[in-house]
Structure 1
Amino acid sequence: MPLFDRLKASCAPEWSSYVDHPFVRGLADGTLPEACFRHYLIQDYLFLIQFARAYALAAYKAETLPDIRQATEGLKAIVEVEMGLHVQYCTGWGLSEAQMQAAPEADACMAYTRYVLEKGLAGDLLDLHVALAPCIVGYGEIGAGLASDPATKRDDNPYADWIGMYASTEYQDMARAEAVYLDDLFARRGGEGRWPGLQTTFRQATRLEAAFWDMGMTPS
């Protein structure tokens, strides 16, 4: 079984709470209050900044040139592509980059992103990518699941573009590549002795992702 699938199966209740969160269901049927979504978008901008730092840390932690390249490509994708796309998307929701930069980080944003960085600092590349996986691969699962669900509202759904972004071929390819990379790291750095620690990291990261949705449901 691929490592990601094994990790997901090991914390099925937490995973279900994350991917079937009321925030996600609100995106699917279009009932999520727009104030909640704007709050989420602002925090997601701040979240991406910290994820860029995580990829910079991955480059530092890497011990082979292919791993350095993998981390560098991830960093470039966030800084040079994804941030720009996010800012452009947020403009359509009346949010400027200056406004998002000036916003304070929510506790839930700090909790997950600093947890990822701590796991990377204390551990190795495998620990870091397992902590990242609920976000990177999980958003792919959420996007594909919503796009294929007949119950998802297609017409006049203000969140249809968001769903389409994470259901897109480009994002799905990236999520699959991350899952494959997890298997590669586990083969090179793993062994069953690592399993309990990796399972704990993945479960906690999944809980923190669900808490990020909770944060989105309560705009300040």
Structure 2
Amino acid sequence: MTLCKELRVECDAIFEANFNHPFIEELATGTLSEDIFKEYILQDSYYLQHYAKLHALAAAQATDMHTVRRFAQHAEGTCGAEIDLHESYFSLLGVTEQDLAQFKPAPTAYAYTSHLYRAAMEGDLAATLAALLPCYWVYYEIGERLKEATPNHPIYDKWIAMYSSEWFEQSTNEQIERLNELTKDLSQKRRAEIKAHFIKSCHYELQFWEMAYTKQNWDLEKVELQV
């Protein structure tokens, strides 16, 4: 069994939790509060800036020019297609310059990107890709599940179309195949280390919806302290 097949089986419960989060369920029906989606887009824009940089780091870790080129293209794609898409959301959601000036990454967004950098800085290309892949894979499967959904909402229709597109499917499958190739001859110990990066990112994907849904922030008075 390939590593990615193992991972999909082992992470099925966390994938299902992503699919069944109220953020996704309400987005599919068009009932999600635009204020919550606005919080998500602001946090996701921050995340994607670092996601693009992580692809550039992956390009530097690659040992053949084809892989270097593909990761560089993925970095550009993140900076281009997805960031442009977010800017169109900014207009639809009425995001102001003041909103952007006052923006702070929420704890989960900060922790998720920190996890990605740690995987890249302490590991190799396989480790970096394992940490990056859940963002592709979870969103691709959400797009597949929601492609027949009819939220009848200009923002949510656009979001579903993005992640149910053929382009996004191809990008996801490319990275799945690449991780399988990178890990096919690794020891069981090393495979376990790679899998740990992937699993952590799957959990952060779930926490990202919750972060936006609850408008998570750093306010201490909203944190229940255990003493």
* Corresponding residue for residue 33 of structure 1: 33
* Corresponding residue for residue 88 of structure 1: 88
* Corresponding residue for residue 216 of structure 1: 212
* Distance in 2 separating the partners of 1:55 and 1:209: 18
Q: Give the aligned residue type for 2:103.
A: A
Contact 1:30 1:157 in 2 (8 A): no
If the length of structure 1 is used for normalisation, what is the TM-score?
A: 0.89
5+ unaligned residues in a row in structure 1: which ranges?
A: none
- Within the candidate set 198, 204, 208, 1:202 is matched to 198
If the length of structure 2 is used for normalisation, what is the TM-score?
A: 0.86
* Distance in 2 separating the partners of 1:93 and 1:81: 18
Which region of structure 1 is more displaced relative to structure 2, 51-60 or 155-164?
Answer: 155-164
3-state SS of paired residue (2:147)? helix
Quickly say closer, same or farther: Cα 1:65–1:39, change in 2 above 3 A: same
Contact 2:27 2:151 in 1 (8 A): no
* Corresponding residue for residue 176 of structure 1: 173
* Distance in 1 separating the partners of 2:48 and 2:119: 17
Quickly say closer, same or farther: Cα 1:156–1:61, change in 2 above 3 A: closer
| Structure ID, larger Rg | 2
Q: Give the aligned residue type for 1:177.
A: E
Contact 1:62 1:68 in 2 (8 A): yes
Which region of structure 1 is more displaced relative to structure 2, 154-163 or 53-62?
Answer: 154-163
* Distance in 1 separating the partners of 2:187 and 2:19: 28
Contact 1:30 1:158 in 2 (8 A): no
Aligned-pair CA distance for 1:154: 4.2
Aligned-pair CA distance for 1:82: 2.3
3-state SS of paired residue (1:121)? helix
Quickly say closer, same or farther: Cα 1:101–1:51, change in 2 above 3 A: farther
Q: Give the aligned residue type for 1:193.
A: K
Contact 1:120 1:127 in 2 (8 A): yes
* Distance in 2 separating the partners of 1:218 and 1:196: 33
* Corresponding residue for residue 183 of structure 2: 186
* Corresponding residue for residue 139 of structure 2: 139
- Count of aligned residue pairs for this structure pair: 216
Aligned-pair CA distance for 1:24: 1.0
Instruction: Provide, for residues 69-93 of structure 1, a one-character-per-residue CA deviation record: whole Å limited to 9, x for no partner.
Output: 1221111112233212221232111
Aligned-pair CA distance for 1:194: 2.1
Quickly say closer, same or farther: Cα 1:56–1:33, change in 2 above 3 A: same
